[in-house]
Amino acid sequence: MSGRFRSALIIGGQGIRARKTRTLLSMVSLFMGVLAVITVQTGSAFAQKELLKDAELQMAKDGTLQMYLPGDQKTGPIALDALKGRADAVGIINMQATIGEPNVAAVNAGGRSFDHLDRGGGTVVTCGPNGCSSAPSTKPPGAAIDVQLVGLTGDIRQFRPFRPQSGNWLDFTGTPRLSPQLVLNKEAAKGFSRYQVPAQLHMDGATADATPQIVGVVDDGNSYQPTAYVRADELLNWLPISATTSQSYGPSMQVLLDPTATDLEQTLRARLTAAGVDSNQLYSQVTKTKERAQSQLRLMELIFLAMAALVLLIGTAGILNVGLATVGERVEEFALRRAVGTPRVLLAGIVLAETLLTGLMTAGLAILTGVLGLKAAGIVLRGRFPSLAELDFPWQAGVAGVIAGLVAGLLGGLIPAIRAARIPIATVMRA
């Protein structure tokens, strides 16, 4: 079998070289189909990367352990003490704050999006143990902006890879400043670019209003709520630690932990339970970003693969037509080979070798086109899709292209191969 296989490859290669025009026609008909399969696989890899990035911005990287702590006055001191010096975990303190004139209604009362100020204007949403309700604001309108203030015990970007837009990120080295440094998200930056407000940071429960410094802007995936990020220790210069976890509605503190930081999770649970916190209120979950993204990608990938398969089928039909025409022209050659003792299997192998080599060469050309096309797209579209410039050609697309080329060659050459093997020896008398 090894000798027949080698002979089929050699004779098939000679046939391709002798009929360059027909081979080129076969490759042209198959090229678009293989390239469509490669494009689908590359697009799927790019879409998955984009979806994962968006999900990681809003939630956390896949595998991150998220722990939610209840709004209890004992929670804050214990959690901050346990997180001190830990680089594998970040504590998140969420609270409402106002930047601007004191005792006035903010232009986006309640922290609304600046693109929807006409919805619910003049109302303030308050939440309590029985739910949330809205009521007209009793404060006069003024130059102030409401934001969601997020205090961080460390660099959250190891869990949520924020995209820098301008300026710098928070510097967690050195002693905390009395003038808190803030990094805004894109929605908050939009508001400060439209409205001029005084540099005065007001937080309920604070000992006094602080003078903040805005040092940068990031894309955190939240396009609806203005958010400002600050070092937790700079926040606590103006806010009693008990005020960070004394909210009456919902969890007021969240901890993001590396998958290997199981000891810290156990320590937090043990210390909080020992302090009298109900263990049923300590909720944690593992982030499954890939699982959620793949469920969205699967249907889209199947649709595009079906379209690529249709194009590939057209290319296979082209190989089939060229193969049948070639066998018809080589009837006397195959009959003569049968007359001198060439097995039928070898005749079929010669035809299949030609179509498989044609499919393999077409796949190589399509893969090269895909690599060059991806690099060109990264250069042209990197302003709109920055991650496209960082995307390497996925090996899955190359493998899919090779498989598509071989399958098309096999299907397109199967019928011509059977016809060549069934040519009778008596046909040689035509020569």
For 316-363, write each residue's pLDDT tens digit: 887 788 778 778 777 877 788 777 777 888 888 888 888 888 888 888
Co-location of 282 and 312 in the same domain: no
Query: 89 falls in which pLDDT band (50, 70, 90)?
Result: very high
Of 286, 303, 335, which residue constitutes the final position of a domain? 286
Co-location of 152 and 300 in the same domain: no
pLDDT at 346: 81
The amino acid at residue 281 is Q
Co-location of 323 and 377 in the same domain: yes
414/393 Cα distance (integer angstroms)? 32
Co-location of 72 and 37 in the same domain: no
pLDDT at 130: 54
Co-location of 241 and 333 in the same domain: no
Co-location of 165 and 277 in the same domain: yes
pLDDT at 192: 93
Name the domain count of the chain: 2
Co-location of 315 and 423 in the same domain: yes
Instruction: Tell me the per-residue pLDDT of 249-298, one tens digit each, with 9 for 90 and over.
Output: 444 688 999 988 888 989 988 998 888 888 888 888 888 877 766 666 67
Of 286, 311, 344, which residue constitutes the final position of a domain? 286
Alpha helix stretches (DSSP H) within 141-288? 186-194, 232-235, 262-274
CB < 8 Å & 24+ apart, contacts of 114-122: 114/187, 114/190, 114/191, 114/194, 114/226, 115/190
Instruction: Tell me the per-residue pLDDT of 111-150, one tens digit each, with 9 for 90 and over.
Output: 888 887 765 555 555 555 555 555 666 778 889 999 999 9
Query: 248 falls in which pLDDT band (50, 70, 90)?
Result: very low
pLDDT at 250: 42
End-to-end CA distance of the chain: 30
Of 237, 263, 286, which residue constitutes the final position of a domain? 286
pLDDT surpasses 90 at 421: no
pLDDT at 257: 93
Mean of all residue pLDDT scores within the chain? 81
Query: 92 falls in which pLDDT band (50, 70, 90)?
Result: very high
Buried b (16+ CB within 10 A) or exposed e, 339-354: eeebebebbbbbbbbb
H or E element at residue 148: strand 144-152
pTM over 0.75: no
Co-location of 351 and 390 in the same domain: yes
Instruction: Tell me the per-residue pLDDT of 177-196, one tens digit each, with 9 for 90 and over.
Output: 999 999 999 999 999 999 99
The rounded radius of gyration (Å) of the Cα atoms in the chain is: 33
φ, ψ of residue 118 in degrees (nearest 5)? -80, -10
Residue 151 in tokens: 């205090």
Residue 154 in tokens: 């460390």
Please report where in the chains the tokens 């049968």 appear, as a residue: 338
Domain that holds residue 357: 2-56+291-430
Q: In the chain, count of helices (H) and strands (E)?
A: 11, 12
Co-location of 147 and 24 in the same domain: no
> Left, alpha or beta for 157 (phi > 0: left; psi -120 to 50: alpha)?
alpha
pLDDT at 156: 93
